[in-house]
């Protein structure tokens, strides 16, 4: 009959985990003098384990040593029936038997923990855009009060191509102090940029007239009022479609005060006459700055973007000849604010999955 153990754990700097377990059990059986015999014993089990990594980049515990020390042995036999020679024989027998009985339990517990570690390196789908996978970049580092895991991220686009991530690691010298009983997770701006690059194909959007309330009418009449060259070559009141695409990977910048995302887009304007095929009018290069807000929910990092400014707008090509595109800037900013950025935020609602480490859930999160 095993009693619930009393377990103490301590981190071994540069190694792994030290475990001390007070084991209490009662052994019953037939007595050599007749009747039932009961032996109650208490033993200290001490074991240490090394935390390393396997070939797949998964954390893994392996036991180093296991020792059993008897604390007490009591029986229900009268002391006169248990001479000292018999007591020593009982103690020595238990010292030989208990390690083979209890030490395998340490390996079994470590194997259960190792099985839970495998979820860390599982591929996680990012909707239909691709997959994300975490793995150890370097072996774990154990300190007196915490374990540090240096993770790498592997991002694949839906075609299977791996997204490029800078190999140089950002400096971690200015991190906030580690708090007791808390997990601190650091995500680099480079990783967030790569994550958005995998999702950027999902940002593409065709914006047409009456698609979003609050937008100016997307008609050749509106364009002609801003660009005289258009009114001279196109009939009024023809519907216009704006095709938004990302030309380059987004860039995330993180500061102490705010975080920003830079988008490098193209806005291609099409006219869609009812009696003929759509015709491309011109293409604008558009660089925009957006403020990023972060939140954590359901073990995912959620991003929400808000347009701050259109930092650059330039005519890239035109079937109408050269013209001054500057009058379009205000209208385009309204279109980005009312239609394009909300569409991107809907894509980002899926969130970025955080590392699944032993099933730890994110509660009372500070970002």
SS3 letters across 74-129: EECCCHHHCCHHHHHHHHHHHHHHHHHHHHHHHHHHHHHHHHHHHHHHCCEECCCC
Query: Cα separation of 36 and 30, whole Å?
Result: 5
pLDDT value of residue 89: 57
pTM, entire model: 0.82
Report the range of poorest mean pLDDT among 75-89, 98-112, 184-198. Answer: 75-89
State pLDDT tens for residues 62-72: 998 899 888 88
pLDDT value of residue 170: 59
Query: Cα separation of 11 and 324, whole Å?
Result: 67
pLDDT value of residue 159: 79
Q: Are 41 and 94 in contact (CB under 8 A)?
A: yes
pLDDT value of residue 312: 95
Domain boundaries, given as residue ranges, for the chain: 6-117, 187-367
Of 286, 285, 269, 283, the C-alpha closest to 220 is 269
Residues 237-253 have a mean pLDDT of: 93
Strand residue runs (E) in 130-239: 130-136, 141-142, 147-148, 151-157, 205-207
Domains 6-117 and 187-367 share a fold: no
Of 126, 133, 128, 134, the C-alpha closest to 150 is 134
pLDDT value of residue 351: 92
Q: Which helix (H) or strand (E) holds 199?
A: helix 189-199
The DSSP secondary structure of 275-302, one letter per residue, reads TS--EEEEEEEEEEEEEEEEEEETTEEE
pLDDT value of residue 145: 85
> What does the buried/exposed string (b/e) look like for 162-201 if buried means 16 or more CB atoms within 10 Å of the residue's CB?
ebebeeeeeeeeeeeeeeeeeeeeebbbbbbbbbbbbbbb
Q: 187-367: which CATH topology?
A: Bactericidal permeability-increasing protein; domain 2 (3.15.20)
- CATH architecture of structural domain 6-117: Super Roll (3.15)
Residues 180-207 have a mean pLDDT of: 89
Round the average pLDDT of the chain to a whole number and report it. 86
State pLDDT tens for residues 88-145: 656 677 778 888 888 898 899 899 999 999 999 999 999 888 899 999 988 999 988 8
Residue 14 makes CB contacts below 8 A (sequence gap 6+) with 141, 142
pLDDT band at 236 (very low <50, low <70, confident <90, very high): confident
pLDDT value of residue 34: 61
Query: Cα separation of 134 and 266, whole Å?
Result: 32
Query: Cα separation of 78 and 271, whole Å?
Result: 104
Q: Facing residues of 251 across strands?
A: 262
Q: What is the CA radius of gyration of the chain?
A: 33
State pLDDT tens for residues 303-327: 999 999 999 999 999 998 889 999 9
Q: Which helix (H) or strand (E) holds 12?
A: strand 6-12
**pLDDT over 60 (residue 81):** no
């Amino acid at each position: 009959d095993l009693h619930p153990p009393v377990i103490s754990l301590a981190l071994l700097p540069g190694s792994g985990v030290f475990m001390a377990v007070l084991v209490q059990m009662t052994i019953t059986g037939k007595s050599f003098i007749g009747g039932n015999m009961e032996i109650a014993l208490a033993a200290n089990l001490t074991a240490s384990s090394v935390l390393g990594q396997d070939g797949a980049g998964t954390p893994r515990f392996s036991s180093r040593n296991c020792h059993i020390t008897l604390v007490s042995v009591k029986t229900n036999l009268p002391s006169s029936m248990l001479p000292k020679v018999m007591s020593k024989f009982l103690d020595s027998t238990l010292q030989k038997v208990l390690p083979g009985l209890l030490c395998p339990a340490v390996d079994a517990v470590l194997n259960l923990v190792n099985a839970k570690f495998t979820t860390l390196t599982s591929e996680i789908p990012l909707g239909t855009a691709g997959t994300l996978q975490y793995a150890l970049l370097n072996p774990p580092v154990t300190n007196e009060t915490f374990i540090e895991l240096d993770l790498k991220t592997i991002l694949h686009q839906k075609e299977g191509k791996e997204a490029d991530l800078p190999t140089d690691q950002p400096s971690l010298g200015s991190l906030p102090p580690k708090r007791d009983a808390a997990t601190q997770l650091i995500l680099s701006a480079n990783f967030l940029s790569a994550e958005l690059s995998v999702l950027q194909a999902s940002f593409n959007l065709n914006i047409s007239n009456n698609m979003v309330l609050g937008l100016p009418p997307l008609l050749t009449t509106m364009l002609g009022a801003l660009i005289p060259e258009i009114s001279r070559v196109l009939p009024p009141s023809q519907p216009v479609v704006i095709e938004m695409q990302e030309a380059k990977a987004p860039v995330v910048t993180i500061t102490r005060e705010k975080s920003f995302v830079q988008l490098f887009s193209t806005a291609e304007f099409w006219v869609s006459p009812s009696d003929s095929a759509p015709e491309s009018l011109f293409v604008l290069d558009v660089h925009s700055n957006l403020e990023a807000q972060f939140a954590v929910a359901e073990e995912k990092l959620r991003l929400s973007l808000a347009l701050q400014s259109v930092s650059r707008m330039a005519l890239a090509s035109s079937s109408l000849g050269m013209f001054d595109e500057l009058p379009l800037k205000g209208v385009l900013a309204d279109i980005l604010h009312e239609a394009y950025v909300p569409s991107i935020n809907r894509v980002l609602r899926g969130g970025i999955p955080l590392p699944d480490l032993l099933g730890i859930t994110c509660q009372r999160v500070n970002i």
